[in-house]
Amino acid sequence: MAISLIFIDDHPLFRKGLMHLLQDHPEFRAVGQFADLASARDWLAQGGRADIALLDRTLGETDGMDLIPDLKAQGIKVIMLTVAEEDYEIRIAIERGVDGYVLKSSEPEHILRAIHAVHQGNTMLPAGVLQKITRGEFGQGVFDKLSQREFEIVTYVARGLTNRAIGEALGLAENTVRNHLRNILDKLGLENRVQVATLALAEGAVKKDR
């Protein structure tokens, strides 16, 4: 039986490229493609099913990882297929429960191998990350003292979002975001959000133009 796939990416050309990639591989079957969280959630609510989702991290102004719990609840394995290659991004994805993490710059055959591996119950991660995990180096850095939620807020601060906008993105009250930011400043020994953003950009925790 063919492995059923859904594509969740806000770039039509990239989705079309994935569809083209599968044309010569009958062992795969695309059953849906979506440009945003809402349409993917609607499909799931209507009983949509698939073996694996190829999910982009950035979907317009929303975070693709927010969809992981919805996909997992339906028994769909998740491969994050994205341009985000920083260790911090990959660590968050792993903590969120992705089954694989593949960069969009990968060769097409690598993407296909990742799908096969995840379908067989294996975890697929970039080779450099696996090497760091083996050496016990993965994820070590200035932000290790932060909780997952605090680090997420750091990435939004670095992108220039206000506390209200961050709260809307994460489903938190503005006061809750403000409290988290106060804790972040204390843990990092910083004085204001500008310093937080500057540190995040300097450490590669987020790209300025993403």
16-31 tens-digit pLDDT: 999 999 888 999 999 9
Instruction: State percent of the chain over pLDDT 70.
Output: 90
- The rounded distance, in Å, linking the Cα atoms of 173 and 170 is 9
DSSP-assigned letter for residue 64: G
148-158 helix and 193-202 helix, angle to the nearest 10 degrees: 90
Asked whether residue 208 is domain-assigned, the answer is no
Contact 154, 89 (CB under 8 A): no
With cut-offs at 50, 70 and 90, classify the pLDDT of residue 131: low
- The count of domains in the chain is 2
In this structure, the answer to whether residues 32 and 74 fall within a common structural domain is: yes
pTM of the predicted model as reported, rounded to 2 decimal places = 0.67
With cut-offs at 50, 70 and 90, classify the pLDDT of residue 58: confident
Distances (CA, A) of 76 to 17, 55, 98, 121: 22, 11, 10, 12
CATH classification of the domain holding 58: 3.40.50.2300
- 34 forms beta bridges with 8
Asked whether residue 23 is domain-assigned, the answer is yes
Instruction: State percent of the chain over pLDDT 90.
Output: 57
Identify the domain boundary among 95, 114, 135: 135
Identify the domain boundary among 94, 112, 135: 135
Domain that holds residue 161: 148-202
Distance of CA 134 to the CA centre of its chain: 22
Is the predicted pLDDT of residue 104 greater than 80, yes or no? yes
CATH classification of the domain holding 162: 1.10.10.10
Asked whether residue 207 is domain-assigned, the answer is no
> Which position has the higher pLDDT, 121 or 204?
121
Identify the domain boundary among 135, 163, 180: 135
With cut-offs at 50, 70 and 90, classify the pLDDT of residue 34: very high
pLDDT at 130: 55
With cut-offs at 50, 70 and 90, classify the pLDDT of residue 139: low
Asked whether residue 73 is domain-assigned, the answer is yes
> Which position has the higher pLDDT, 92 or 130?
92
Pairing label, strands 3-8, 28-34: parallel
In this structure, the answer to whether residues 27 and 103 fall within a common structural domain is: yes
Is the predicted pLDDT of residue 137 greater than 70, yes or no? no
Which sign does the torsion angle of CA 48, 15, 169, 93 carry?
positive
In this structure, the answer to whether residues 41 and 93 fall within a common structural domain is: yes
In this structure, the answer to whether residues 105 and 188 fall within a common structural domain is: no
In this structure, the answer to whether residues 87 and 17 fall within a common structural domain is: yes
Asked whether residue 141 is domain-assigned, the answer is no
With cut-offs at 50, 70 and 90, classify the pLDDT of residue 210: very low
In this structure, the answer to whether residues 112 and 53 fall within a common structural domain is: yes
Asked whether residue 157 is domain-assigned, the answer is yes
Distances (CA, A) of 155 to 29, 63, 76: 35, 11, 27
Report the pLDDT averaged over residues 152-173: 91
In this structure, the answer to whether residues 23 and 79 fall within a common structural domain is: yes
DSSP-assigned letter for residue 66: G
Asked whether residue 142 is domain-assigned, the answer is no
Q: Locate 164 and state its tokens.
A: 């209200």
Asked whether residue 178 is domain-assigned, the answer is yes
> Which position has the higher pLDDT, 188 or 145?
188
In this structure, the answer to whether residues 23 and 124 fall within a common structural domain is: yes
- 28 forms beta bridges with 3
3 contact partners, CB below 8 Å, separation of at least 6: 27, 28, 29, 51, 52, 115, 116, 119
Report the pLDDT averaged over residues 10-20: 92
In this structure, the answer to whether residues 129 and 175 fall within a common structural domain is: no
